[in-house]
Structure formats: structure tokens, C-alpha cells
Chain A
Amino acid sequence: MSSTFPSGQRPTASDPARPLLTPIKRRSFFMYAGATAGATALVLAGCNKDNNSPNVTDVGSGDFGILNYAYALEQLEAAFYIQILAGSYFTGLAAGSAERQLFTDLALHEKIHSDFLQKALGSNAIKQLTPNFSSINFGDRASLLSAAQAFEDLGVAAYNGAARFIQSADYLTLAGKIVSVEARHAALIRDTIAYNSFVGTATGAGIADDVIDPSLSTPTARQEKSKLPAVVLDTANKFLADGSKISANSFR
């Protein structure tokens, strides 16, 4: 096996973190593991680019890290709905209309979530983030509904995907109290865009796989497709200004 790597570039016992330089297929990977005697733990470094880069705020570790992760996403959503309320589409909506009630409630709920998490974190809270909504047209119904759907679906997937990292039962319950409200939001926004798309783009009684797994007989049947923090933040960071990007390196 020693000829597999250029000399001087193999991971060694003294520097196991030295990255593998060649992308490795799953099979070759196990072959390497099985055949190595005296192996130490290999760490696949270099799989992710944001290792505490400057101008990227890491959410931290432990339950405060998860709460900050949630706080970052709620900040984003709160800022988004406040922008909607200030925009020309919303201000043109009739009093008492369903959409006026919808966007008002969303703005209230997300601000409640954001302020709550900030208070719960106290001095452990990350900073106020600056969003980047330049890709969204707040005068255009389709543009803002599409963005709302993306944020809400993302929020549900994020909370569900983060739960495995929560250590305290109390914080897990808290996350649970919030995520179902985000799911209600997401479903209503989807239905507002296209009625019956509450669990995925619908064609008759069939659903696409954009939100939940449409299969009926697998271990993930008809379940939300939760996402791990790195995947969520890939999307969320597109809506955060430079200097406000987020990482969650403790939660892989």
C-alpha cells in the first residue's frame, strides 16, 4: 500500500490529520482500513472549506451551539418577513385579506422565535446578522412567496436535522415546540403558492420528493427530509451578507 501515496504525503502515525490527497472511493476506503496494521484514526480533513475562516461566525459547540444555529436561522427569517411587511406587495394588500393575515403572523412568529432564542442564550448569543435579500423582489408576489417557502422548508429540515446533536431534554422539547410551527408555516405558504402542495409538489394525489420522501414502504417513508447543519448553512449563507456568514463546525 505504501506506493499509493507520493512519498511524504501519506497520513502518518504522528500526523493523522494530514489530508488524503486523492479522492477515495468507498470500496478503496474500506480496503485501506482493513489492510492497515497499526492504523491510527484517520481524519478526513479537507472535506469542508469553512474551518473557522475569518468573517465566518461559528455557532459554537454543545447546546449553546445548537441554539445559536437556530438563532441564526430565526434571525434570517425574522428579517425576511419584516422586509416583506415593508415592501410594496404587502402594503398593497387589503385589510382583513388572507395574505395580509398570513404575512403578519409569520413576521410576528419569527420575531418571537428570534428574540426568545437571543434571550435564552444571553451572553452566549452570536451577533446580530446582516441579511442579503438582493435576489428577492419584495414587490413581486411570486418572488417573495418562493423565498418564504424556501426559508420555511429549510427551517423545518434544519431543526429536525439538528435534534440529534441536542444534549438536554429541555432544549429538545423547546426545538420541538418551534419546528411544528415552522412546518405549519411551510405548509400554508406552499398551499398559497399551489393548493395541495403542503407536503410536496402535488399532481393529483401524487407528491414529488421536494419536501418529504414519497415512498410508502421504506424506513424513511413519507418523512420530512431533514438536513444536517452544513447543508442548511450552504443555503442560508446565500442570504447572509459577507461578514455575517455562519458555520457549525461542531455538528457534523
Chain B
Amino acid sequence: MDFFQILTDIEKTDADVYDRFDSRRAVFKHLSGMGKKVTAATLPLLLGTMFQKAYGQTTALPAIIVETLNLALQLEYLERYYYQAGLDRNLFTGQDRDAITIIRDDEVGHIFALRAVLGTAAIPDPGADAFDYSAGGRLAPFASAKDFLGTSQAFVDTGVRAYKGGAVNLMSNKDILTAALNIHSVEARHSSHIRSMRRAYTALGPNTNGTTVAGLEGGGPNDTLPKGWISLLEGGGPVPAVTAPVYGPGADPAKFPAEDNVTHGGLNVQTGTAAPAGLTITAAAASEAFDEPLDAVTVKTIARNFRSAKGVTLGLFA
């Protein structure tokens, strides 16, 4: 076996092959941990382990990781087809269309990455017709760009809470945990931009710079001037009858409080912070500084609102 030729050949198709292996130090940590001499005889086994770790496809993932990532994948499909629908209906032009395209592309990338990790354990692509974005007729997300953005906010904030709630399930695989968190922060960036767009549409109109519009505590009247961060309960969100649960508590409110929570690890951050000179730590500010996780059961309850009959048949968010 010409090990070096193998690496060279892999490098031709995967330029990052060397980065997928452990750092030098970790390789030796693993080698020394085997308690054996590294001889020519043991080397093939060690190398096999090294490649397996790099591409992660030969050992089955723990069930909890599969479950958590498949829920994430379903949410990514929900969003991916939603943004596609907004683009297909030409709800946006110019720089706003660019932003929605960027977000759609991010979801496409996330789907690829999740499917790569899950391998054959990934749920099949449910298709765009598995989703009913009107939530059974209670929303009209495609009636206008403004409506579309409101429902966007609900989806993306649910996604952020879902990834956050599921992170602990991934702790046994540090690479997967890191990837999930690296998706989670991108979703939070999406939420921030969608909120800027919503302020623009409320105050200025299409293709304007929403960062020139101040957000208000709690999102302002009817959550039409949301800040970049979740503030108190967002007044229940864009359509409270449907979106209030996005900002509400989880199945166990003690473990998964609503988004107006200000107590973390037993510490009240509103009363426990020394405000910068001239400022007050308001309940809103205290609630904004931390986003709240949401348990899988509650996430699925919210997401089930958006299944079509086909989605039900496919068992989405079951």
C-alpha cells in the first residue's frame, strides 16, 4: 500500500483532505492511546480509523443525533421551499430579492451539509408540496412582501430555538455539534436581516435600508418594528394567533421558558447587572441579551401547522 499515493489521489478530489484528519497532536494522542507500538503491521488499522473519522460514514450515528439532525433537516426544507416560493412569486426586487436569494442559498447549503452527515439516515426530500405556508388558511404569506417577511420571522426564530434546544443532543460528536452550531448562528443572522427588512417595509418601503429604522422594545405595535433581537415576547409575533408559540414557553416552562425570560442558571440578569453609566437594564434589554432554546416536541407542534396533506402523509414533524 502506498499510503502517500493514496493521500495524493484523495487530495485531487478533496483538497481539504488533510484538514479532515486530526491535528498532528491529536493523531498522536490517538496513537499513544492504543498502547501499542506503531509498527508497519498496526498501521493499516490505524489509518482505517483515521479515514473513518474523517468521513464518518462507516459507523452508525447514535439515534438521538439522527433524530435531532432530521428535525433540523425538516425545518431547513420548510424554509428552503418557503424562500423559493417567495422568489418564484416575484415578491421582491433588487437588493431585497438578493437578500432572499442569499437566505434561500444558505438553506440549500445547510440541507446539503445535514444530508452529508446523516447519509442514508436522512429523511427523503419532502418536496415543496409537503408544506402549507398558509397554516390552514390562517396566514397569507404570499399576499405581499410584508406578509411574507412576517411569516419568515416566525420560521427563522423557530429554527434558531430548535437548533439551540437540540445542541445538547449532539454532544457525543464534537464535529457534528460544531457544524450544527455553525448553522445555528447563520440562522440567527438571517433573523436579524429579516427583521431589518420588516422595519424597512413598515417605515420606508421596498429596497430601502432597514438599518436606518429604529426597532422598538417588544417589536413595537403589532411587532411591525422588531429589533434585530428577540425583545420580550415580540407581542406574540407578526400574527399572534399563529405565531405566539414561537416566542412562548416549551413543554416544560421551567426548562424551556418563554423569550421574555431574564433568569439564567439561577441568576436574574436584569437585577444582577451593573448598568453602564446613564443607562438602565430594562426588562426588554435583559430579555434581548439571551435567546431561549425550545424542546423538540414544541418545535414540532409549531411546525405541524405548516404541513400540507402530503406533508402529513409523509410524517413530517411527527
Report chain B residues within 8 Å CB of A176.
Answer: 164, 167, 181, 184, 291, 293
User: Which residue of B167, B175, B272 is within 8 Å of A115 (Cβ)?
Assistant: B272
User: What is the size, in residues, of chain B's interface with A at 8 Å between Cβ atoms?
Assistant: 89
Report chain A residues within 8 Å CB of B303.
Answer: none
Chain A interface extent, by class: 35 or more
Report chain B residues within 8 Å CB of A252.
Answer: 23, 25
Asked if A33 is an interface residue, CB under 8 A from chain B, the answer is yes
Report chain B residues within 8 Å CB of A113.
Answer: 289
User: Which residue of A47, A184, A216 is within 8 Å of B108 (Cβ)?
Assistant: A216
User: Which residue of A120, A163, A191 is within 8 Å of B178 (Cβ)?
Assistant: A163
Counting chain A CB atoms within 10 Å of each CB, the highest count among B37, B39, B182, B193 belongs to B182
- Please judge, given known A-B contacts A107-B279, A173-B293, A204-B98, whether A199 and B106 are in contact too, CB under 8 Å: yes
Looking at B147-155, B208-216, B244-252, B307-315, the stretch in contact with chain A turns out to be B208-216
- B168 adjacent to A199 (CB under 8 Å): no
- Please judge, given known A-B contacts A216-B108, A219-B113, A223-B179, whether A177 and B291 are in contact too, CB under 8 Å: yes
User: Which residue of A29, A192, A216, A223 is within 8 Å of B186 (Cβ)?
Assistant: A223
Cα–Cα distance between A162 and B95 once the two chains are bound (Å): 35
Question: Across the two chains, which residue of chain A brings its CB closest to B20?
Answer: A219
Asked if A226 is an interface residue, CB under 8 A from chain B, the answer is yes
User: Which residue of B4, B265, B273 is within 8 Å of A112 (Cβ)?
Assistant: B273
Cα–Cα distance between A31 and B212 once the two chains are bound (Å): 59
Report chain A residues within 8 Å CB of B95.
Answer: 195-196
Report chain B residues within 8 Å CB of A40.
Answer: 32
Asked if B297 is an interface residue, CB under 8 A from chain A, the answer is no
B interface footprint on A28-68 (CB within 8 Å = 1, 0 otherwise): 01110111111111111001000000000000000000000
B interface footprint on A146-180 (CB within 8 Å = 1, 0 otherwise): 00000000001001110110100110111011111
Cα–Cα distance between A173 and B40 once the two chains are bound (Å): 44
B interface footprint on A200-220 (CB within 8 Å = 1, 0 otherwise): 001011010001110111111
Asked if B177 is an interface residue, CB under 8 A from chain A, the answer is yes
Counting chain A CB atoms within 10 Å of each CB, the highest count among B25, B38, B97 belongs to B38
Cα–Cα distance between A166 and B211 once the two chains are bound (Å): 35
User: Which residue of A100, A185, A204, A216 is within 8 Å of B228 (Cβ)?
Assistant: A185
- Please judge, given known A-B contacts A172-B167, A176-B181, A219-B117, whether A108 and B289 are in contact too, CB under 8 Å: yes
Cα–Cα distance between A159 and B290 once the two chains are bound (Å): 14
A-B contact pairs, 25 of them (CB 8 A): A36-B38, A44-B25, A47-B25, A107-B279, A109-B229, A112-B286, A115-B274, A116-B269, A119-B267, A156-B185, A163-B181, A177-B164, A179-B181, A180-B164, A181-B290, A182-B185, A185-B192, A186-B192, A196-B102, A198-B193, A218-B112, A221-B113, A222-B105, A222-B110, A225-B182
Which residues from chain B sit less than 8 Å from chain A, CB to CB? 3-4, 7, 18, 23-25, 27-29, 31-32, 37-40, 43, 95, 97-99, 101-102, 105-110, 112-113, 116-117, 160, 164, 167-168, 171, 174-175, 177-179, 181-193, 196, 209-215, 227-229, 264-265, 267, 269, 272-279, 281-282, 285-286, 288-293
With A30-B3, A111-B275 known, 15 other A-B pairs at CB within 8 A are A41-B29, A107-B279, A109-B229, A115-B273, A169-B168, A173-B164, A179-B181, A180-B188, A184-B228, A186-B189, A196-B98, A199-B106, A217-B112, A220-B179, A223-B186
Which residues from chain A sit less than 8 Å from chain B, CB to CB? 26-27, 29-31, 33-44, 47, 78, 81-82, 85, 96-98, 100-102, 104-105, 107-109, 111-113, 115-116, 119-120, 156, 159-161, 163-164, 166, 169-170, 172-174, 176-188, 191-192, 195-196, 198-199, 202, 204-205, 207, 211-213, 215-226, 252
